[in-house]
Amino acid sequence: MEITFLGTGIMGAPMARHIAQAGYAVTAWNRTAEKARPLAEHGVRVVEDPAEAAKDADVVVTMLTDGEAVEDVMAEAAPAAKEGAIWWQASTVGVSGTEAFVALAEDHGLTLVDAPVLGTKGPAEAGELVVLASGPNAAIETLTPLFEAVGSKLLTFREVPGRASNFKLVMNHWVLALTNAIAETIAFAEGVDINPACFLDTIADGPLDVGYAQMKGPGMIGSDLPVAFPLKHALKDADLILEAGDRHALDLVLAQAVRERLVAAAVEGHGDQDMGMVVAAARATSAR
């Protein structure tokens, strides 16, 4: 199979690299071309135009920031793709985005597989993402070797695209809630003159421990976190969670509070930093 990657940022670049290393012919495009060019060292053909990237592909993968970016790029790429090509939509785009892409795929004779991934920069670099896939069984079977190249686990849902994206939002709700709980607990400890490291030490290896807290907590305490997932993207995901909640008449009070704190952190200039820097907004709130 010939594989095209549209979007080679934090997630897309290592995914494209792993698939190329698995022996597939990979072509890549990125809006900022400099981010794609290092892939040439791994045998990836880098092109300057989405349509050129898609024209000979058996599989087109979109791994872009949001639904709007996917729509803009596929407006150029989809007409150039060959009839029957599989479109692996890996971006987190929510409910309405996935519905729009079902129609777009039908219009251009593409087979859509809704398959976002769980994981951030580290798992992507290690090829240990969790792939969530919904779509036609035959197309998922075709893509499975690619999923195995980038991930350590595959969860499949019913044949209709969209279920995987819904589950991605469920998991992102948990991640965002957990991140904010850690941030607020650290800020609370500091606010009452307790070393927040004592919190992490006390829960370690006990029933209240979470590996994520031990991984993120020290960097949050020191305000020194490498960017595994930008805070501005976490805010986008919070909006998608609330959109899905509204559609299903769910009162997601926690998700709304999480969004408000992410907005505050973004306003304070932390949007391009790791989402763990929501701790800065928690500290600011605690200080008021």
Domain boundary among the residues 128, 159, 190 is at 159
The rounded distance, in Å, linking the Cα atoms of 15 and 17 is 5
pLDDT at position 158 is: 81
Looking at residue 268, the DSSP 8-state letter turns out to be I
Instruction: Report whether pLDDT(287) > 70.
Output: no
238-266 average pLDDT score: 97
Residue 165: is its pLDDT beyond 60?
yes
What average pLDDT score do residues 35-44 get? 96
pLDDT recorded at residue 286: 59
Query: Where does the pLDDT of residue 44 fall: very low under 50, low under 70, confident under 90, or very high at 90 and above?
Result: very high
Please tell me the predicted confidence (pLDDT) of residue 160. Answer: 86
- Whole-angstrom Cα distance, residue 240 to residue 94? 5
Same-domain pairing of 57 and 90: yes
Whether the pLDDT of residue 288 is over 60: the answer is: no
In whole angstroms, what is the distance from residue 11 CA to residue 90 CA?
A: 10
Task: For residue 22, give every residue at least 6 positions away whose Cβ sits within 8 Å of its Cβ, in sequence order, or none.
Answer: 145, 146, 149
Tens of pLDDT, residue by residue over 99-158, are 999 999 999 999 999 999 999 999 999 999 999 999 999 999 999 999 999 999 999 998
Mean pLDDT of the region 216-242: 97
Question: Rounded to whole angstroms, how far apart are CA atoms 52 and 233?
Answer: 28
Of the residues 159, 194, 222, the one at which a domain ends: 159
Query: Residue 142 is part of a domain; what is its CATH number?
Result: 3.40.50.720
In a shared domain, residues 142 and 173: no
Mean pLDDT value across the chain: 96
Are 72 and 159 within 8 A, CB to CB?
no
Residues 173, 281: one domain? yes
d(CA 228, CA 242): 23
Residues 281 and 230 in one domain: yes
Q: 116, 136, 159: which is the final residue of a domain? A: 159
If asked whether residues 58 and 140 sit together in one domain, one would say yes
Going by pLDDT thresholds of 50, 70 and 90, the confidence category of residue 159 is: confident
Residues 7 and 150 in one domain: yes
Number of domains in the chain: 2
274 and 207 share a domain? yes
Query: Same domain, yes or no, for 6 and 146?
Result: yes
pLDDT digits (tens, 9 = 90+) for 46-65: 999 999 999 999 999 999 99
Do 29 and 49 contact (CB within 8 A), yes or no? yes
| pTM of the model as a whole | 0.94
User: CATH number for the domain including 185?
Assistant: 1.10.1040.10
pLDDT > 90? residue 285: no
Please check whether residues 249 and 135 belong to one and the same domain: no
Residues 172 and 282 in one domain: yes
Describe the strand order of the beta sheet including 45-46 as a list of residue ranges: 45-46, 25-29, 2-6, 59-62, 86-89, 111-114
Q: How many CB atoms lie within 10 A of CB 245?
A: 17
Q: Do 223 and 93 reside in the same domain of the chain?
A: no
- Residue written as tokens 């928690």? 282
Q: Are residues 9 and 150 in the same domain?
A: yes
Q: Which domain holds residue 87?
A: 2-159
